[in-house]
Amino acid sequence: MAKKTDSKKEPLFHVVKRDDMPAGKAWLIRIAAIVFSFLLVGLLSMAITEKSFGETYEIMFSGVFGRLFEGKTTMLWKYLQEIAILLCLALALTPAFKMKFWNCGAEGQALVGGLASIFCMIQFGSSLSYPVLMVVIVVTSILAGAIWGIIPAVFKALFNTNETLFTLMMNYIATQIIAYYVYIEGGGSNVINPVAYGNFPTVGNNDYFVNIVTVAGITVLMYAYLRFSKQGYEISVVGESQNTARYVGINVKKVIIRTMAISGGLCGVAGMLLVAGKDHSINTNLVGGDGFTAILMSWLGQFNPFIMVVMTAIVIFLRLGVAKVADTALLNHSFSEIIVGIVILILVGCEFFIHYSIKFRQSKKEVKA
């Protein structure tokens, strides 16, 4: 039995699960991570574009806010619009996620919502009066998204299918349906020209005002729904423990289906905002991957709608800003995707430091916490 000494046996560092960290300290770490990622973005851009740190941020700022200080607000509205869409999708996913239903189908649910909008715009645009048309668009878009959400929910509730795979598959189906619809409506050209009917009104020369206000409203409502409503409470209980839900007599199946109807319906709203409030047309790239980015936004926002506002604002700022840096330096667009990816990784990674601490050799070790 050889005698062993401490220092030789202990590893350099090891990871220990923390007890609950005080919320304030956790937020300090998160803010530090955000600051760090902004610094890193600047430094990486500097290294690649050979511009100074200040210039880099100047370009990023112009890519996001344009010439805001000269009174030109167009770019600001565009920024808010991009936030609105990503936020709307993140909000839509949140009730499902709180229920621990991993809805990865925001993309598809938004696409069918958008499809419903464009269908109504083309089919009924000339025959219905504007107010009636708008009501029809809103109702069908929500309904379409909701159905796209309910289908996997029903299968989950009745047969316990894996919702992650199911919702992902539904995305592909939605994409194909839209490709086919574009072929029918667009004919040989493969493009649907913008439809003049059923567009959201322009407010004060601003195309995106309605979209932005709508999502602002949804944000507040979603917060209230999750925090103060009985249904929101049921979602939390089902998410935390289905056994507890059964114990108090909550109909778990009903809650799953109802929540996915809401989740899908809100994704449908996002699709409608994109079609009726922005493109007035549709293609398979309508949502452009935001349905997946939204998953991260919901998580990074700790399922809190107001924190999600901040997170989406940061991510969209980087997306637009770094894209501008890339365009200015005539760089490939992958550059901005890589940068945004890195930042999200840092933001997600900082959660690790909130839940775990790293102990170095001089402090005594625990093998398992």
Asked if 3 interacts with other proteins (CB under 8 A), we say: yes
**Of the two residues 47 and 72, which places its CB atom closer to other proteins in the complex?**
72
How far apart are alpha carbons 261 and 257 in whole angstroms?
6
Q: Which residues lie below 8 Å from residue 134, measured CB to CB, with a gap of 6+? A: 198, 276
How far apart are alpha carbons 286 and 182 in whole angstroms?
12
As measured in angstroms, the least distance from the Cβ of 333 to other proteins is 4
Asked if 194 interacts with other proteins (CB under 8 A), we say: yes
How far apart are alpha carbons 182 and 15 in whole angstroms?
53
Q: Which residues lie below 8 Å from residue 93, measured CB to CB, with a gap of 6+? A: 103, 106, 263, 267, 294, 295, 298
Asked if 27 interacts with other proteins (CB under 8 A), we say: no
Asked if 123 interacts with other proteins (CB under 8 A), we say: no
Written as six digits, the tokens of 319 are 């997306």
As measured in angstroms, the least distance from the Cβ of 28 to other proteins is 6
Q: Which of 15, 23, 67, 139 binds other proteins (CB under 8 A)?
A: 67
As measured in angstroms, the least distance from the Cβ of 44 to other proteins is 14
Asked if 95 interacts with other proteins (CB under 8 A), we say: no
Asked if 92 interacts with other proteins (CB under 8 A), we say: no
Asked if 53 interacts with other proteins (CB under 8 A), we say: yes
Q: Which of 129, 131, 204, 230 binds other proteins (CB under 8 A)?
A: 230
Asked if 219 interacts with other proteins (CB under 8 A), we say: no
Asked if 304 interacts with other proteins (CB under 8 A), we say: no
Mark the segment that binds other proteins (CB under 8 A) among 49-57, 139-147, 258-266, 309-317. 49-57
Asked if 127 interacts with other proteins (CB under 8 A), we say: no
Contact assessment for residue 83 and residue 312, using Cβ atoms and an 8 Å cutoff: yes
How far apart are alpha carbons 38 and 318 in whole angstroms?
9
Contact assessment for residue 219 and residue 306, using Cβ atoms and an 8 Å cutoff: yes
- Please list every residue from 264 through 293 that binds other proteins, using CB under 8 A: 278-281, 283, 285-286, 288
Closest CA to 107 of 267, 214, 301: 267
How far apart are alpha carbons 318 and 322 in whole angstroms?
6
Q: Which of 26, 49, 66, 146 binds other proteins (CB under 8 A)?
A: 66
Count of positions (residues) in the chain: 369
Asked if 301 interacts with other proteins (CB under 8 A), we say: no
**Would you give the binding string for other proteins spanning residues 315-354, x where CB under 8 A is met?**
--------xx-xxx-x-xxx--------------------
Q: Which residues lie below 8 Å from residue 146, measured CB to CB, with a gap of 6+? A: 261, 262, 264, 265, 268
As measured in angstroms, the least distance from the Cβ of 45 to other proteins is 12
How far apart are alpha carbons 342 and 39 in whole angstroms?
12
Asked if 125 interacts with other proteins (CB under 8 A), we say: no
